Amino acid sequence: MSVFNVANFLAQWDSTAAPAVQVSKPRQVHCWTKTSKDEGGQFCFGDESGLLPYKPPSLPADLNAGFETAYTKKDDWEVSPVDTIIQAGTAAAVDWSKVGLCTYRNNLNKVLLTPVSLDNDWAVDACFWGGTLFLDINKAGNQEYPNQDKFVYYGYKFEALCTGQDHVDSSSEFAVLVQYRLGSHSVLMAAEIDCAKEEGDGPDGGRPYVELKTYKMPAHSRAVAIMYKDKHPRWWLQSFLAGVTTLVLGARNHTGQLLKVHEVPVQLLLGLSANAGQAWDPNLLLGFGDSVLSWIAAAAQQQPGQQLLVSYSKDSREIHLEPAEDGSMAQRLAQLLPQ
């Protein structure tokens, strides 16, 4: 078993001396629309029909509305395997010899946000195949909390309100496939996109993408601090990695009433947090991610074709890498990308 000591990395990190991690602008190479499970849940590569235009919602609005009567929910067992990214990349004629890392954004969120989420366990599956490190989503370590289904619904309901949809459907999606460089890694990444503005300059001349987020209006100073120190880094990283430049934030009260909607340029999040006395270091997140991904890649290269479990423990403040006891990742990669 290989070990990456997170506590030691953070103790040695010097924000004033650390070189800036170079990240290139994401370049979109493909996209897909996944239809609702009511329509078969099909992946339609190159189809932009699932990209809906942003429409400012009327206020106030009840985020509880339709929870019992107008909600097509994603199945709990549903997973998002890296297979879909490979299929989209193949359709886009991606040169796999130039891809060092292939993953969903979700996995990078887990890894890169570790320095500001030390109390959250996480797990990722990995396999080195044909010169590329592939990461698969692993739901182990995902936290559950009271009324989770209702709060998750609030987010989807907000998306529906912002795109003029009466029915909430969490089983459909629009996603983009982007390539960029993160430190020493050439990345091919898939990310779901919430909606897009009708006007403006977006990726490769298209419409500018929008990230939608809901949050509970802070009731006291501690809640305000948590928003700036915890939510802002998350919102920034998720948007930054996919090249999304605009956040639309929906503020709700404790009963789920949407009371305020406002736009925030992603690039302003860091300054807003600093002005509130809750500064965070984006270069730390990128530098940590670059180091951990290099560590995973080096270990995986020694075991090509072996599925590995990469897991972070909040108790030990360590990331462990070890062979997975079971799993079909290597077999799936062999079928999709025969060597």
According to the model, what pLDDT value does residue 106 have?
97
Q: How many structural domains compose the chain?
A: 1
For 138-160, the pLDDT digits (tens) are 988 777 778 889 999 999 999 99
Task: Give the Cα separation of 189 and 137 in Å (integer).
Answer: 13
Which two three-digit tokens encode residue 128? 């080195």
For 85-130, the pLDDT digits (tens) are 999 999 999 999 999 999 999 999 999 999 999 999 999 999 999 9
The pTM (predicted TM-score) of the whole model is 0.95
Whether the pLDDT of residue 77 is over 80: the answer is: no
According to the model, what pLDDT value does residue 198 have?
86
Counting residues of the chain whose pLDDT is more than 70, the rounded percentage is 98
According to the model, what pLDDT value does residue 53 have?
97
For 166-203, the pLDDT digits (tens) are 999 999 999 999 999 999 999 999 999 999 998 776 66
As a whole number of Å, the end-to-end CA separation of the chain is 27
Query: Angle, nearest 10°, between helix axes 232-242 and 105-112?
Result: 140
Residue 164 gets the label, from left (phi > 0), alpha (psi -120 to 50) or beta, of left
The residue among 122, 131, 143 whose CA lies nearest residue 292 is 122
According to the model, what pLDDT value does residue 203 have?
62
Average pLDDT over residues 306-324: 97
Q: Which of 217-221, 269-273, 319-323 has the lowest mean pLDDT?
A: 217-221
DSSP 80: -
The parent domain of residue 266 ranges over 2-336
Cβ-based burial of 181 (10 A; exposed 0-12, middle 13-18, buried ≥19): middle
Is there a contact between 295 and 5 (Cβ–Cβ < 8 Å)? no
